[in-house]
């Protein structure tokens, strides 16, 4: 494939996660026995700009269709994260009722909602219709469309933004040039862009291979995103390491001719950290591939042992909690279906009574766990593991145990 940032030809992937269905295309019962679309899921590393990426077999339009079922509002950890960010950014760049704030991929409005108490005007852009409707019902001004050149060049009211927020969206857009140039176009002279994305360093360090799926086109380090922003005359002047999604970066960017914000030493520090870790060398990714293949064997070993014991002693059940997109990658790559995991449960009603794509594990309401009293509950959404363990503390009443599979299989 050709690199999404610098167009360098990349001959072959460093890791193949087999053919896989789209991770967020949960199946209804009617579609369970119909043909499913599978696409190759391969990870490539560009030795020139250092971007890690998957090929785009599907367009954003196919992924973020009206049925797209991701809602940020179901996680308490995420709500708190949004609130803390808003409290901080309002003060840091002195936002008030005259400011303009725009969020790209505003989902159900969980972040923009937090600006209400500060009376800062906000606007969201969200192509997934159901999520956008939830935000609109909450009174958050939301455009149900894609954020791109076509939109910003035809919408003068979007110009002169004081703050543009793009949290966990930059990975989801295959057309990085269009996305970043659109942000540049509507940014006020002294405006700030903040972008959050899972840090590639943590993906490699903590075996987070399940965060790889077709909807995530790019896996950024500070090194690669800095190159992308430079192409569009934007300077990253600050960066923070934050705990969301297994360890993310939040970058702060500005126009390169804006002298309001000094470039902080954090930027250089994280670039050095990435370089020392080996994030810029192909050999690191080859080692990662070997680690992931070993992890797959360890996950299967644990599940086979539990299943064998279950067979001898027919009492217990193995189920799971949560049905994030990453469960789809993990289950599909490891070949784990209802033969190992009877069902999963999820708080999101849009996912309930549906099936995980590919492996067809059914998704129920969380109350099923209380009724069934399973001995083992696998937590697929390891990024909010602590929140889930607290919520499901009651499984201890019947000696239930939690299992996490990333970075290594663990029974808690």
- Minimum CB–partner distance for residue 50 and Zn ion (Å): 7
Tell me which residue has tokens 């960017």: 253
Please report whether residue 3 would count as binding Zn ion according to CB under 5 A: yes
Please report whether residue 1 would count as binding Zn ion according to CB under 5 A: no
Among 1, 6, 79, 136, binds Zn ion (CB under 5 A): 6
CB of 5 or CB of 170, closer to Zn ion = 5
> What three-state secondary structure class fits 6?
coil
> Distance between alpha carbon 249 and the CA centroid of its chain, in Å?
12
Among 5, 361, 377, 388, binds Zn ion (CB under 5 A): 5
Kindly report the backbone phi and psi dihedral angles of residue 80, in degrees, each rounded to the nearest multiple of 5, phi listed first: -65, -40
Taking residue 64's Cβ as centre, other Cβ atoms within 10 Å add up to: 22
- Fill in the per-residue mask, 20 to 59: x = in contact with Zn ion (CB under 5 A), - = not in contact: --------------------------x-xx-x--------
Euclidean distance between CA atoms 199 and 270, whole angstroms: 11
CB of 31 or CB of 275, closer to Zn ion = 275
Token duo for residue 118: 């500060």
- 401 Cβ contact partners less than 8 Å away, ≥ 6 residues apart: 375, 376, 377, 395, 411, 412
Euclidean distance between CA atoms 46 and 195, whole angstroms: 22
CB of 207 or CB of 231, closer to Zn ion = 231
Instruction: Give the binding range for Zn ion (CB under 5 A) out of 5-13, 77-85, 271-279, 373-381.
Output: 5-13
- Minimum CB–partner distance for residue 229 and Zn ion (Å): 14
Euclidean distance between CA atoms 18 and 186, whole angstroms: 40
Q: What residues numbered 155-194 form the site for Zn ion, per CB under 5 A?
A: none
Answer for the pair 404, 410: CB distance below 8 angstroms, yes or no: yes
> What three-state secondary structure class fits 136?
helix
Please report whether residue 253 would count as binding Zn ion according to CB under 5 A: no
- 397 Cβ contact partners less than 8 Å away, ≥ 6 residues apart: none
Rounded CA Rg of the chain: 22
- Minimum CB–partner distance for residue 6 and Zn ion (Å): 3
- Minimum CB–partner distance for residue 200 and Zn ion (Å): 13
Size of the site for Zn ion (CB under 5 A): 8
- Minimum CB–partner distance for residue 290 and Zn ion (Å): 24
- Fill in the per-residue mask, 97 to 116: x = in contact with Zn ion (CB under 5 A), - = not in contact: --------------------
Q: Given the rule CB under 5 A, which residues bind Zn ion?
A: 3, 5-6, 8, 46, 48-49, 51
């Amino acid at each position: 494939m050709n690199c999404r940032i610098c167009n360098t030809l990349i001959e072959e992937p460093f890791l193949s996660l087999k053919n896989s269905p789209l991770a967020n295309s949960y199946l209804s019962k009617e579609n369970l026995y119909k043909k499913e679309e599978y696409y190759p899921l391969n990870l490539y590393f560009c030795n020139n700009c250092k971007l890690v990426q998957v090929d785009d077999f599907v367009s954003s339009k196919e992924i973020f269709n009206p049925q797209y079922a991701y809602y940020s509002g179901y996680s308490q950890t995420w709500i708190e994260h949004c609130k803390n960010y808003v409290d901080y950014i309002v003060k840091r760049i002195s936002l008030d009722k005259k400011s303009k704030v725009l969020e790209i991929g505003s989902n159900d409005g969980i972040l923009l909602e937090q600006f209400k108490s500060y009376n800062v005007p906000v606007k969201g852009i969200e192509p997934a219709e159901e999520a956008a409707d939830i935000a609109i019902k909450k009174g958050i001004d939301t455009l149900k469309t894609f954020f791109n050149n076509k939109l910003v060049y035809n919408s003068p009211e979007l110009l002169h933004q004081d703050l543009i927020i793009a949290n966990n969206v930059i990975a989801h857009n295959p057309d990085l040039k269009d996305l970043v140039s659109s942000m540049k176009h509507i940014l006020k002279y002294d405006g700030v862009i903040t972008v959050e994305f899972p840090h590639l360093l943590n993906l490699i360090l903590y075996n987070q291979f399940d965060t790889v799926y077709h909807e995530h086109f790019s896996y950024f380090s500070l090194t690669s995103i800095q190159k992308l922003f430079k192409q569009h005359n934007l300077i990253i002047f600050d960066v923070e390491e934050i705990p969301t999604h297994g360890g993310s970066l939040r970058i702060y960017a500005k126009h390169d001719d804006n002298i309001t914000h000094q470039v902080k030493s954090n930027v250089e520090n994280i670039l050095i950290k990435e370089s020392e870790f080996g994030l810029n060398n192909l050999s690191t990714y080859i080692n990662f591939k070997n680690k992931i293949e070993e992890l797959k064997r360890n996950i299967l070993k644990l599940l086979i042992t539990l299943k064998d014991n279950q067979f001898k002693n027919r009492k217990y059940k193995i189920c799971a909690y949560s049905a994030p997109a990453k469960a789809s990658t993990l289950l599909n790559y490891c070949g784990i279906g209802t033969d190992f995991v009877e069902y999963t449960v999820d708080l999101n009603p849009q996912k309930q009574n549906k099936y995980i794509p590919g492996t067809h594990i059914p998704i129920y309401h969380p109350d099923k766990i209380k009724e069934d009293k399973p001995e083992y509950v696998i937590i697929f959404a390891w990024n909010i593991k602590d929140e889930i363990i607290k919520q499901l503390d009651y499984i201890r009443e019947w000696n239930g145990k939690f299992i996490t599979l990333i970075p290594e299989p663990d029974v808690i």
